[in-house]
Amino acid sequence: MSIDQLIDSLASQGWYVWDDFLNLSEIHTIKDCIPDKLQDARIGHRDSLQGNKSIRGDQTIWLEPEMGDAVARYMDKMEHIRQALNRQLYLGLRDFETHFCRYPNGGFYKKHVDNPRGVGRRKITTVLYMNERWPPQDGGELVVYDHEDNHLFKLEPVAGRMIFFMSENFPHEVLPTENKRESIAGWFLTEKIL
């Protein structure tokens, strides 16, 4: 798997699954940088942010390079991909924002699109899975749809696997999990974060 395959797949179908994007050692070193206490996730944008556990039940923390070398290396890798996407696909991507997500047992995220109403700055969504062993009975899969509500595919949260998809084109949900599920969600943006 390579950046070339990512670019070809995004251009042709709008999504790409990159298995072994990171190895287990890289995942463990990132996890070591994450504090135990996270914030309940919220929905909305800026002034309209609000908690709503009937829509999503995960906890998050925004990632910054200062959290540790492993996080900085991850963000450098995503910056390299941002530049390659701009060179090849002319998407005008100007920044990347990312957070660590922890879904407790029973956690879920109902079907949604990643751009809050009227805000189109998120161009490409990324999700990196971080659970080492994930049997099918643990649930927590990502389910992706088209805009006509047709089920396109279901993705198991396998450690090291990364999915990339065009943020506005694919409604998606996280099915309820029967175990603690950890991932890093991110977005390539068409505006610089202030």
pLDDT, tens digit, 9 for 90 and up, residues 143-187: 999 999 999 999 999 999 999 999 999 999 999 999 999 999 999
Residue 54 burial (CB count, 10 A): 7
pLDDT, tens digit, 9 for 90 and up, residues 43-97: 444 444 444 556 777 889 999 999 999 999 999 999 999 999 999 999 999 999 9
Which residue type does 17 have?
V
Domain spanning 1-35+55-187: which CATH class is it, in words?
A: mainly beta
pLDDT at site 54: 61
113: closest CA among 146, 140, 151? 146
pLDDT, tens digit, 9 for 90 and up, residues 2-18: 899 999 999 999 999 99
Runs of H (alpha helix) within the chain? 3-12, 24-31, 69-89
pLDDT, tens digit, 9 for 90 and up, residues 136-154: 999 999 999 999 999 999 9
pLDDT, tens digit, 9 for 90 and up, residues 95-116: 999 999 999 999 998 898 887 6
C-alpha Rg value of the chain to the nearest Å? 16
Residue-range domain boundaries for the chain: 1-35+55-187
Place of tokens 């890289």: 26
- Look up the pTM and report it: 0.90
